[in-house]
Each structure stands twice: as C-alpha cells, then as structure tokens.
Amino acid sequence: MPSEFEVIARYFSRHTRTASLGIGDDAALVMPSVDSELAIACDTLVSGTHFFADVEPAALGHKSLAVNLSDIAAMGGRPRWALLAITLPEANAAWLEAFSEGFFSLAKQFGVELIGGDTSRGPLTITVTIIGEVVAGRALRRDQASDGDDLWVSGQIGSAALALQHLRGNLRLKGLALEQSMVRLLAPVPRVELGRALLGVASSAIDVSDGVLADAGHIAQCSGVGMDIHLADIPYLPELTRFKADPLFQHALLAGGDDYELLFTAAPDQSARIAAISTELALDLTRIGRVRDGSSVDILDENGIAMEISVKGHDHFA
Ligand code: ADP
Ligand code: MG
C-alpha cells in the first residue's frame, strides 16, 4: 500500500500556474486579483450519508468538487483554488486513480487548481474547500430579494432525487429517463457561467441543494420576504413525464436535493436580459414564482390556490 506521502505525491500533486505556492509546504500561497473579494466555502461528503460506499470513484471525485463549485456559482463568483481533505479506509491505487481523474477533469474544465489538503485514514469522507473570486461588492447573496421580484430556476428539477429513489428501489426508471437522471445525481454540472452572468441582473441567488421549497425558504428568510411558487411551472426532464402521478415525483420537485441548479430572484424588468442569458448559455431558465410581502413560501396549484404541503427539504438533524 502506498504511504500517505506517496498518495499525495502520486494522486493529488499537480503543477499550479496561478497559485504562488501549491501542494508541498505547510500552507499554499495565492494572490487574489485586484478589486475582488474572496468567496470561500466548504462541503463534506460522507460515505453512507451523501453517497453509497461502492459509488464509482470517478463520479465521487467529480461530485465532491462540483458541489463546491456550485456554491461559488450561487455567489456569482469565479472558482480558482481548492483544498481537498480526504479520509480513506485504505489506499487503493485503482480507486485513487479514478477519484483523482474525476476530480481533476472537472477542476480543469473550470480552471481550478488544487493547492492543498489533508490525507488521513478512517471512514471514507471527503471535504473540499473552494476559494473563488467575485467582483468586490457585487456578489449574489441570499438577503437581497425584494417584493415584486420574479423567482427563477435554471435547468430541470427533481431528476437527482428520482435517480436516488431508483437506486433505493422505490421507483423504476428506464432508458433515457434513467440515464439522464443518473447523470444529474452522479455528475451534476455546476452553473458557474450562469452565476457570473447574473451579476447585476439577479437580486439574490442560491443553489438548489436541499430542494426548491427549502432553498426558496432560505432566500425568503434571509431577505425578509414571502414567495409564491407555481407547482406546475417547476421544470423537469420531459423523459420523466410518465412519473408525474407518482407521489415521489411531487416530492422530488419540491424537496429533492442534489440538483445543483440555481434558484434566483430578479426584478421583472430583467426578464429580457434573463432570456438572452438563457440563449447565450443554451440553458433553460424558467420563471416559477414571485416574491411578495410576508414570510411564508406558498406552493400554488393550477388555480393559484395555496396547497397543503407537508414535505420538507433535506436536514441532517431533522
Ligand atoms: P502538514 O503535516 O504540515 O499539515 P501534510 O503532510 O498533511 O502537511 O501535507 C503535506 C502537503 O500536502 C501540504 O501542502 C498539504 O496541503 C498537501 N496535501 C495533503 N493531503 C492532500 C490532499 N488530499 N490533496 C491535496 N493536497 C494535500
Ligand atoms: Mg496536515
């Protein structure tokens, strides 16, 4: 079995171009760009909680970085550097090879450099810390939505949650529906370009990690506003239409986590700009609701009547 230092050298040390000092010293050194604020976040994936222990290691490498890139996307930032703290039950060469391949291919796609981390032995757990940059004073926050804004969402919602239900045996997806949903669960694409395009356009933003209802609730609470969301307007993959009547479907749309799409608010006079961004990025952007006075987030049926909803978003301690 390779030693800790061999693991770091073989699988995680890569030459860095933008960091003044990368892996190998007690700390990395980076120089932020002028007029930027650093946007910093971390996310942990725990075996058995966030993924099945036998998940494809390349997918895990991809996802451990993707969920962090998504947080930078939600702030309207440009991701730049990452740190990787990995706890492994054993140093399996094939597993590490695939994991690092998944991690670095996504890192390359988004111009992110791995500049440090920590390696230890124990139950499989991965924590990535991401450092991004955002134009000073312009970040997309959760606390700036205002009465009258529209509520928008990118891409499609619920696919990752339905793929998970499939893996758990609660639903049977097939063909294209299965293929596409599984990609959303295992290898989500962080909406980094969208976040940056929304600077100066959106009034607030969040990434959908806990479910639309819970994440809209986070914006509502931070901004001190209420929201109405039209259930029928929440976009989903057309391949999943035949599951519409399944109770798991509505649950996935409202409370399914793991989609990593962006949910954002914008003044109605930004609609044309948002449509242009959608075309530019070839990414669906759908208006699903409205910000209003109050504090509740209501889900409206086809008649505009608030529905009785008992579903809640993901909460590790609930
Ligand atoms: P220290 O004992 O000073 O904390 P380590 O021996 O843990 O240093 O790490 C040596 C170097 O390798 C450091 O630069 C650290 O950031 C880096 N490193 C350790 N583990 C990882 C990892 N999984 N991915 C990337 N860099 C790592
Ligand atoms: Mg250390």
Q: What strand order describes the sheet that includes 150-154?
A: 204-207, 262-266, 150-154, 285-292, 226-230, 297-300
- Taking 80 as the threshold, does the pLDDT of residue 315 lie above it? no
Instruction: For residue 118, give the ligand 1 atom closest to its CA.
Output: 20
- Please give the Cα distance from 237 to 155 (Å, whole number): 9
Ligand 1 mutation pick, 5, 8, 88, max ligand atoms within 8 A of CB: 8
Pairing type for strands 226-230 and 285-292 reads: antiparallel
Q: What is the pLDDT of residue 7?
A: 93
Which residue, judged by its Cα, is nearest atom 2 of ligand 1?
Answer: 26
User: Using an 8 Å Cβ cutoff, are 157 and 106 in contact?
Assistant: no
- Give me the torsion for CA of 200, 206, 207, 209, rounded to 10°: 180
- Taking 90 as the threshold, does the pLDDT of residue 318 lie above it? no
Mean pLDDT for all residues in the chain? 96
Q: What is the pLDDT of residue 105?
A: 98
DSSP designation for 145: -
Instruction: For residue 86, give the ligand 1 atom closest to its CA.
Output: 23
- Taking 80 as the threshold, does the pLDDT of residue 203 lie above it? yes
Q: 23 CB less than 6 Å from ligand 1?
A: yes
Instruction: For residue 116, give the ligand 1 atom closest to its CA.
Output: 16
Give the model confidence (pLDDT) of 57-88 as tens digits.
999 999 999 999 999 999 999 999 999 999 99
User: Using an 8 Å Cβ cutoff, are 198 and 270 in contact?
Assistant: no
Residue identified by tokens 């996802």 is 63
- Please give the Cα distance from 68 to 115 (Å, whole number): 15
Q: What is the pLDDT of residue 309?
A: 85
Q: 54 CB less than 6 Å from ligand 1?
A: no
Q: What is the mean pLDDT of residues 139-166?
A: 97
- Taking 70 as the threshold, does the pLDDT of residue 108 lie above it? yes
In the chain, pLDDT over 70 holds for what percent of residues?
100
Which residue, judged by its Cα, is nearest atom 13 of ligand 1?
Answer: 24
In the chain, pLDDT over 90 holds for what percent of residues?
95
Spacing, Cα 37 to ligand 1 middle (Å): 26
Q: What is the pLDDT of residue 96?
A: 97
- Taking 90 as the threshold, does the pLDDT of residue 40 lie above it? yes
Q: What is the mean pLDDT of residues 137-146?
A: 98
- Give me the torsion for CA of 180, 206, 48, 12, rounded to 10°: 90
Residue identified by tokens 């609701």 is 289
Give the model confidence (pLDDT) of 172-190 as tens digits.
999 999 999 999 999 999 9
Give the model confidence (pLDDT) of 12-36 as tens digits.
999 999 999 999 999 999 999 999 9
Give the model confidence (pLDDT) of 234-273 as tens digits.
999 999 999 998 999 999 999 998 999 999 999 999 999 9
- Taking 80 as the threshold, does the pLDDT of residue 169 lie above it? yes
Q: What is the mean pLDDT of residues 96-122?
A: 98
**Number of residues assigned to the chain:** 318
Q: What is the pTM of this model?
A: 0.95
Integer angstrom CA distances of residue 219 from 31, 73, 112, 232: 32, 16, 28, 21
- Please give the Cα distance from 14 to 23 (Å, whole number): 8
Spacing, Cα 249 to ligand 2 middle (Å): 44
Q: 26 CB less than 6 Å from ligand 1?
A: yes
Spacing, Cα 141 to ligand 2 middle (Å): 32
Which residue, judged by its Cα, is nearest atom 5 of ligand 1?
Answer: 118
Instruction: For residue 24, give the ligand 1 atom closest to its CA.
Output: 14
Integer angstrom CA distances of residue 283 from 21, 38, 154, 278, 286: 36, 27, 7, 5, 10
CB environment 2-41: b (16+ within 10 A), e (fewer): eeeeebbeebbeeebeebeebbeeeebebeeeeebbebeb
Supply φ then ψ for residue 73, to 5 degrees: -60, -45
The three-state secondary structure class of 42 is: strand
Q: What is the mean pLDDT of residues 283-311?
A: 94
Spacing, Cα 205 to ligand 1 middle (Å): 33
Instruction: For residue 27, give the ligand 1 atom closest to its CA.
Output: 14
